Amino acid sequence: MTKRSSAVAKAPVERPDSDCPACGATMAPKRGRLALVVNGEKVQVPSAAHLRCPKCQEIVLRFEDARRLSADAVEIYRKKHGLLSADEIRAIRERHRLTQAAFARLLRLGPNTLSRWESGRNAQTEAMDTLLRVIRDLPGTMEYLREHAA
Ligand SMILES: [Zn+2]
């Protein structure tokens, strides 16, 4: 939310969400190329749904647009770098009967990181992807991590 300095005791104006926040014109639903940063890299998402102002070209993402854009960008990023999918990461964790929190501790990740990977809200880095593949493909790796986890 932007703070307007000169507003004096005015009730907030209820705008329909199709009004342009910049100029007030009625925005139109469009599809087009939008970019989003994933792990520090700009990812282009073709045909992303959004609202665009016909007057000033302002772009607004509805809640669902933003969720979709983020999920698509993460999927494109994973494909581009040849990373494990969300389901493949979940399968590795479940094979070892670990909760997301327990697996995150072994990998020394933040508590929400795995849930973001498994729901497609974020992608693992290539370095973490390599570690996940080692856990998946080399027997004994999980035991090693358990012995050496902080
Ligand atoms: Zn506008």
DSSP 8-63: -SPPPP---TTB-TTT-PBPEEEEEEEEEEETTEEEEEEEEEEEE-TTT--EE--H
Question: How far, in Å, is the centroid of ligand 1 from the Cα of 38?
Answer: 28
Q: Is 11's pLDDT higher than 60?
A: no
Question: How far, in Å, is the centroid of ligand 1 from the Cα of 60?
Answer: 10
- Domains along the chain with CATH numbers: 29-81 (3.10.20), 86-148 (1.10.260)
Helix (H/G/I), strand (E/B), else coil: 101: helix
Separation of alpha carbons 136 and 138, rounded Å: 6
> Hey, what are 89's tokens?
């990461």
The pLDDT of residue 18 is 86
Residues 79-119 pLDDT 10s? 999 999 999 999 999 999 999 999 999 999 998 999 999 99
Amino acid at 17: D
Question: How far, in Å, is the centroid of ligand 1 from the Cα of 4?
Answer: 18
Q: Is the pTM of this model over 0.85?
A: no
59 Cβ partners below 8 Å, 6+ apart?
34, 50, 51, 52, 53
Question: How far, in Å, is the centroid of ligand 1 from the Cα of 50?
Answer: 14
The pLDDT of residue 2 is 44
Give the residue-averaged pLDDT of 114-129: 94
Residues 41-62 pLDDT 10s? 999 999 999 999 999 999 999 9
